[in-house]
């Protein structure tokens, strides 16, 4: 007998069916599931600049290179059934021979490093406009995805945990989850900021302070005045280049007599408006009646099935007794003949 026990092989299709059943059971218990699904591009896990940069960063520090190809296979065939990104934590469910739970902890980004990133993003007016529109430009992402000075965590800032029995720290299930993060960044690049515990809206405040307000404020001696050319940029309005001329005061006009206001006539509600609650009650009553009829029909079918089953059992018992009696009678006749 072999010292090692290997579980029987289960195909990918069977694993998916088993995994989806377990996910449905978790949903019924109230757990929130964020499925990753199968990737639209089988050849590339991530198609955007930021997602591709994440995958490259992952491959640069992995000390278990033989695990990465299996992880790519798992994420491509849809084995990552749940992937949630929260500040400092990535939680996931991966379907292997069983449904394994993954928890990856990421150290928050230090405050001084985030200030450095903000300083590098100053003066990017085009990027600021896209950020205000809810988009993140490639120019900003090139800064935040820098492998040394960006938002990407280093190996010492990552703690990997998987419920599978594999001895390796980075098993194929963890690798699949990390690749899944790159795929998720294609559509939601702001999750990279969320993962490191920073707010990408800080880039808007920093850029706005350094560009619009910095250029608008002009010093003259000890007093500072706001340049009218930049006043519209600050408040989001269009202003004329020259101030309007001041017109002389107009003579006071005689007070006008207000016309008499006719009393408003109350409009009685129509029959259609008054009958709406009654119509709703009728609809609900019909639905209740239908459900009651359906329940009665199901109960009748169940009772009929039980009755048929009881009759079949009784018939079998009677037939067995008859056969037994015939056998006893035959044996008795044979014995008499022998005597």
171, 79 contact by CB (below 8 A): no
Per-residue pLDDT at 87: 94
Per-residue pLDDT at 161: 92
Per-residue pLDDT at 272: 53
Assigned domain for 221 exists:
no
User: What's the mean pLDDT in 84-112?
Assistant: 93
Per-residue pLDDT at 237: 40
Same domain, 200 and 300: no
Percent of the chain whose pLDDT exceeds 70: 70
Assigned domain for 42 exists:
yes
- Local confidence band at 197 (pLDDT 50, 70, 90 cut-offs): very high
Per-residue pLDDT at 239: 40
Q: Distances from the Cα of 82 to the Cαs of 33, 85, 90, 162, in angstroms?
A: 6, 10, 10, 14
Per-residue pLDDT at 68: 78
- The model's pTM: 0.57
Assigned domain for 267 exists:
no
Is the pLDDT higher at 222 or at 44?
44
User: Pick from 160, 179, 207: which residue ends a domain?
Assistant: 207
Per-residue pLDDT at 210: 52
Q: How many separate domains does the chain show?
A: 2
Same domain, 195 and 305: no
Same domain, 297 and 198: no
Closest CA to 207 of 110, 139, 112: 139
- Local confidence band at 174 (pLDDT 50, 70, 90 cut-offs): very high
Phi and psi at residue 72, in whole multiples of 5°?
Answer: -65, -40
Assigned domain for 98 exists:
yes
Same domain, 300 and 198: no
**Of 2-16, 90-104, 121-135, 197-211, the least confident:** 121-135
State yes or no: pLDDT of 313 exceeds 60: yes
For residue 128, the tally of other CB atoms under 10 A from its CB is 22
The percent helix, strand, coil of the chain (3-state, each to 5) is 55, 10, 35
User: Pick from 172, 207, 242: which residue ends a domain?
Assistant: 207
63, 135 contact by CB (below 8 A): no
pLDDT digits (tens, 9 = 90+) for 32-87: 989 887 777 667 888 887 788 888 888 887 565 667 788 888 898 889 999 999 99
User: What's the mean pLDDT in 290-315?
Assistant: 87
pLDDT digits (tens, 9 = 90+) for 228-269: 444 344 334 444 444 444 444 555 666 666 666 666 655 555
Per-residue pLDDT at 167: 80
Percent of the chain whose pLDDT exceeds 90: 17
Per-residue pLDDT at 130: 67
Per-residue pLDDT at 196: 92
Furthest C-alpha separation in the chain: 149
Show the 3-state SS of 158-202.
EEEEECCCCCCCCCHHHHHHHHHHHHHHHHCCCHHHHHCCCCCHH
Q: How far apart are CA 237 and CA 211, in angstroms?
A: 17
Cα-only R_g, the chain: 38
Same domain, 167 and 314: no
What six digits make up the tokens of 18?
């088993």
Same domain, 177 and 304: no
Per-residue pLDDT at 249: 54
User: Pick from 151, 177, 207: which residue ends a domain?
Assistant: 207
Per-residue pLDDT at 2: 44
Q: How far apart are CA 145 and CA 200, in angstroms?
A: 13
Assigned domain for 216 exists:
no
Assigned domain for 217 exists:
no
Per-residue pLDDT at 42: 61
92, 83 contact by CB (below 8 A): yes
pLDDT digits (tens, 9 = 90+) for 141-164: 778 778 788 889 988 899 999 999
Assigned domain for 91 exists:
yes
Domain containing residue 168: 12-207
Per-residue pLDDT at 258: 61
Per-residue pLDDT at 82: 94
Is the pLDDT higher at 247 or at 278?
278
Same domain, 50 and 158: yes
Assigned domain for 36 exists:
yes
């Amino acid at each position: 007998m072999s010292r090692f026990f290997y579980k029987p092989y289960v195909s990918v299709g069977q694993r998916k069916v088993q995994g989806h059943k377990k996910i449905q059971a978790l949903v019924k218990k109230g757990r929130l599931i964020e499925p990753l699904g199968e990737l639209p591009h089988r050849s590339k896990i991530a198609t955007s600049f930021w997602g591709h940069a994440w995958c490259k960063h992952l491959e640069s520090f992995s000390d278990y290179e033989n695990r990465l190809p299996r992880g790519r296979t798992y994420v491509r065939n849809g084995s990552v059934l749940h992937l949630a990104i929260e500040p400092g934590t990535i939680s996931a469910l991966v379907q292997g021979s069983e449904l394994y739970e993954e928890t990856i902890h990421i150290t928050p980004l230090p405050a001084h490093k985030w200030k450095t990133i903000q300083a590098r993003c100053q003066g990017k007016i085009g990027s600021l406009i896209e950020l205000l529109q809810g988009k993140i430009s490639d120019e900003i992402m090139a800064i935040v995805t820098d492998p040394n000075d960006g938002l990407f965590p280093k190996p010492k800032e990552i703690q990997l945990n998987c419920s599978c029995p594999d001895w390796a720290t980075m098993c194929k299930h963890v690798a699949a989850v990390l690749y899944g993060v790159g795929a998720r960044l294609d559509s939601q690049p702001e999750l990279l900021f969320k993962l490191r515990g920073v707010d990408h809206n800080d880039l808007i405040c920093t850029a706005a302070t350094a560009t619009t307000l910095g250029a608008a404020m002009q010093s003259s001696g000890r007093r500072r005045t706001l340049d009218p050319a930049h006043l519209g940029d600050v408040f989001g309005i269009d202003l004329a280049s020259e101030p309007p001329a001041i017109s002389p005061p107009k003579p006071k006009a005689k007070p006008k007599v207000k016309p008499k206001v006719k009393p408003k006539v109350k409009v009685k509600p129509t029959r259609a408006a008054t009958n709406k609650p009654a119509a709703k009650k009728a609809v609900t009553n019909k639905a209740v009646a239908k459900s009651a009829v359906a329940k009665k029909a199901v109960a009748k079918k169940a009772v009929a099935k039980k009755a048929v089953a009881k009759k079949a059992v009784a018939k079998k018992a009677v037939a067995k007794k008859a056969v037994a009696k015939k056998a006893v009678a035959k044996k008795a006749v044979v014995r008499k003949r022998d005597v």
